[in-house]
Structure 1
């Protein structure tokens, strides 16, 4: 991003652009989303777009970075107060499924990043894994979960969550059914129990 807003009005303008971009990119895809349509939907001028961003690629980068931060924050809040790692994982998976269901447009932005900026897409998952791996390692050291390579385990768990969410939320626009969550919980217990 070229410029960070310093006023409330500036922040509101930037948020209009970001929210419009999320909608347009999720509906049409990154390559078919035009800056003109984004600014029109946001109710702002082209000039304001270029005040904040050099181009659409820079916009996509800002969107993915915000999605990453917001998702991590939501999952942290959703599992706060829990002490056992298996319980944290179960609650974290359910929170992720909820986040995905209510933020499908944001998830579609991540899918667009995979095909339009692979380095950014990799950054997103590596950033998630970085913190996740440390939490898993801490739990291993406390004897709460089985010992594995923490980075490998973080990607295994993210893969499970990712594809279950795609299967139910993105592909059929449904919440993840309770029986599926229960099955995932059994799998988590089996994988994680020391």
Structure 2
């Protein structure tokens, strides 16, 4: 969950996504990606056809192949887009936030909001493990890379204990993913709200990572 913009990265042979050069092309491509996300999220990769995607997007079948060579290519674009949405939601929330622990609290709060808004995120990212394993791994590695960078900065500033880095970043990322799953997608009556979840998770970080 959590990434890197659309990326436009090529997948295996025959799974190529192209970057648009005009505003109209950007709109068409974005409509296809949004439609594909909805179809993949609702039906899964294998039960979704390209015609399902173009029909939902209101785009001619021929236009699909202007941007994507295959269903695999647009699936990869969807994974990258989902990952980018997480990144783009978190980054602005960190601007001006002082303190390593406060930044992690802000990042978690922003992530939980993304999960509530993009409720198909987990299904798509989980399916990517089997459909596009490299895209699945890239999603998590780029996410964890940003967390690790923040944690190292906190350690360098003397706010977190020495040596904090990648291992702790993976632990934080895992915590965030499962908190989103349990307290957003599986939320029920009587469960703590997002503010309490963030506060309690941040206390765990403070006692586990703080000096």
Task: State the TM-score, normalizing by the size of structure 2.
Answer: 0.84
Higher RCO, 1 or 2 (CA under 8 Å, sep at least 6)? 2
Structure-to-structure mapping, 1:3-22, within 5 angstroms: 3-22=18-37
Kept in 2: contact 1:97–1:176 (CA 8 A): no
1:23-42 superposed Cα distances (whole Å, 9 cap, x missing partner): 11111111111111111111
1:79 aligns with 2:79: no
Which structure 1 segments of 5+ residues have no match? none
Going by fraction, where is helix more abundant, 1 or 2?
1
Q: Alignment partner for residue 171 of structure 2, among 153, 156, 163?
A: 156
DSSP-derived class of the 1:181 partner: helix
Give the RMSD, CA atoms, in angstroms.
Answer: 1.9
Which structure 2 segments of 5+ residues have no match? 1-15
Kept in 1: contact 2:37–2:124 (CA 8 A): yes
Structure-to-structure mapping, 1:138-153, within 5 angstroms: 138-153=153-168
Q: Alignment partner for residue 131 of structure 1, among 143, 146, 163?
A: 146
Q: Alignment partner for residue 88 of structure 1, among 85, 100, 103?
A: 103
Aligned length: 194
Counterpart for residue 180 of structure 1: 197
Q: Alignment partner for residue 54 of structure 2, among 35, 39, 53?
A: 39
DSSP-derived class of the 1:30 partner: coil
**1:179: Cα distance to partner?**
3.3
Counterpart for residue 72 of structure 2: 57
Task: State the TM-score, normalizing by the size of structure 1.
Answer: 0.91
1:114-170 superposed Cα distances (whole Å, 9 cap, x missing partner): 232222111111111223212211211111112344111110000000001111222
1:98 aligns with 2:121: no
